[in-house]
Amino acid sequence: MSLVPVTLLGLLEREPSHGYDLKRDYDAYFGRDKPLPFGQVYATLGRLVRDGKAMAAGSEPGAGPDRKRYSITESGVAEVEAWLAEPVEPEPHLQTALFAKVTLALMLGRPAERYLDAQRAAHLQRMRELTERRRAGGVVDALLADHGLFHLEADLRWIDVTTARLSVLAQEVRS
């Protein structure tokens, strides 16, 4: 599942919400550089309802195009859990997805440290493969492997720093 739908589902697991509140929370935590258009919020919610991951839990009178309140279904909770527990494919520039996982896990009281450890293991496994490729290959292989290794190392440093700051981050996202 791509990042926006599963993130909205995670926010719904925290508490049933309106589209407007979901957009506000999404932008505050996950969309600082790229706010989510309202149209995408409602289109995504529509698909989540269609797929049985979320459900409309009544509507309220008021201004605005949609005052429907959405909640997550059991199938949606399972989707969030599966996404959180599955390490991201180790590649450069994965921080957006990883950051979203850590933040959502803390919001939902899930074991963020365990997810980070799983990610750490996936990264180190990839680094082992690249180290072996560098050892066995020529200079071109070595340089290509080094490029990947340096990026993965930077990710791992971020994972370590985030692991060390989990309690502070938990306080912030739960406040």
Partner 1 sequence: MSVARVVSDDRAPGALLEGRHLVKSFGATPALRDASVSVWPGEIVAVMGPSGSGKSTLLHCLAGILVPEAGEVLFSDRRLDTMGEPARSALRRDRFGFVFQSGQLVPELTAEENVALPLLLNRVRRSAALAETREWFERLGLSGLEQRRSGELSGGQAQRVAVARALVVHPEVLFADEPTGSLDSLTGEHVMELLVAACRQQGTTVVLVTHDARVAAYAEREVVVRDGTVSALTGGPVTR
C-alpha span between 137 and 144 (Å, rounded): 10
Asked if residue 95 binds partner 1 (CB under 8 A), the reply is: no
Asked if residue 143 binds partner 1 (CB under 8 A), the reply is: no
CB under 8 A: which stretch of 26-34, 63-71, 93-101, 158-166 binds partner 1? 158-166
Asked if residue 127 binds partner 1 (CB under 8 A), the reply is: yes
The residues, ordered by sequence, that sit 6+ positions from 95 with a Cβ below 8 Å of its Cβ are 155, 158
Q: 65-84 burial by CB neighbour count: b if 16+ within 10 A, else e?
A: eeebbbebbeebbebbeebb
Asked if residue 15 binds partner 1 (CB under 8 A), the reply is: no
Alpha carbon 167 to its chain's center: 18
Shortest Cβ 119–partner 1 spacing (Å) = 11
* Contact residues: partner 1, CB under 8 A: 113, 117, 120-121, 123-125, 127-128, 130-131, 135, 149, 152-153, 156-157, 160, 163-164
